[in-house]
A = this chain, B = another copy of it.
Amino acid sequence: MSTPRTVRDRIRDEVTREIIDVARAHLAIEGAAALSLRSIARDLEMAPSALYRYFSSRDALLSALILGAYESLADGAEAASGATAATPGRPSERWAAVPRAMRAWALDRPQEWGLIFGSPVPGYQAPEETVVPYTRLAAALVAPLVECQADGTLRPPAVQSPESSPTHRDALAASLQPVAEALLPDLPTATVALALQSFTTLIGVISLEVFGHWRNTVLQPDVFFEETIGNLAASVGLCP
């Protein structure tokens, strides 16, 4: 049931994977815009029309690549999270595991990082199913935070935001309700905001490096990255 039964089905799965592998290699070299069914078919020594047995259009193939990128990134994050949870250390050390895995993944597959966090192609809609791996990624990132909260070892936010009118607080809580509910139940709104802000910073710091903005600016990106994720751990209230 789970593995296909007939030879035909097995070959079909194999060829599908081959197509995606070649497509991903092309993506890495030429970028998403230049991805072409014909050139993929050429590499596979197939007729271009044969690809239509596997993907109904170029966009369908691109969607598969996008979804695959999300899943691969989420897998990497979860693996790192699982490994660090198995050998417990200081919370701020464990916090670092997922960011490091995300950065390593992004440096390894910059075009796919761009597919997820870069500018979207206008008129093209990312597949809905990306919500699932996206949530897995976020959950892996905040896992140490949730555990410390359960322990009671989480500190209150060190920096108090100056924007503290009650209306602002209410609006913020309402704004972040989906995040709080899905990932960080029972945490104070300010902490939820700081956790989301940490995610934001992480995406920013990785994107800026991967997209080439650190050239002549940040000479050793890894050092700045470590400093940044250390700061994030502290800001969010993880004990060192």
A113 proximity list for chain B (CB < 8 A): 119
- A16 contacts partner chain B, Cβ-Cβ < 8 Å: no
Q: Which of A118, A203, A223, A240 has the most CB of B within 10 A?
A: A223
Q: Which of B203, B212, B218, B226 contacts A179 (CB 8 A)?
A: B218
**A197-B228 in contact given A207-B207, A235-B159 (Cβ < 8 Å):** yes
Binary flags per residue of A199-240, CB closer than 8 Å to B gives 1, else 0: 011111101100111001111110110111011011100001
- A174 contacts partner chain B, Cβ-Cβ < 8 Å: yes
A186 to chain B, nearest CB (A): 19
Interface residues of A in 107-141 (CB under 8 A from B): 110-111, 113-115, 117-123
A113 to B118, CA, bound (A): 10
Name the residue of chain B whose CB is nearest to the CB of A179. B217
- A81 contacts partner chain B, Cβ-Cβ < 8 Å: no
Check if A228 sits within 8 Å of B193, measured CB to CB: yes
Interface residues of A in 8-35 (CB under 8 A from B): 29-34
- A175 contacts partner chain B, Cβ-Cβ < 8 Å: yes
Q: Which of B34, B211, B221, B228 contacts A119 (CB 8 A)?
A: B211
Check if B120 sits within 8 Å of A224, measured CB to CB: no
A203 proximity list for chain B (CB < 8 A): 204, 207-208
A178 proximity list for chain B (CB < 8 A): 216-219
Q: Which of B171, B205, B213 contacts A223 (CB 8 A)?
A: B171
Residues on A close to B: CB < 8 A? Answer: 29-34, 92, 110-111, 113-115, 117-123, 158-163, 168, 171-172, 174-179, 193-194, 196-197, 200-205, 207-208, 211-213, 216-221, 223-224, 226-228, 230-231, 233-235, 240
Jot down 30 A-B pairs with beta carbons below 8 A, ordered by A.
Answer: A31-B119, A31-B122, A33-B33, A92-B162, A115-B119, A117-B211, A118-B119, A159-B235, A161-B231, A161-B234, A162-B233, A168-B223, A172-B224, A175-B218, A175-B219, A175-B223, A178-B216, A178-B219, A179-B218, A194-B231, A196-B218, A197-B205, A197-B228, A200-B208, A201-B201, A203-B207, A203-B208, A204-B205, A204-B207, A207-B207
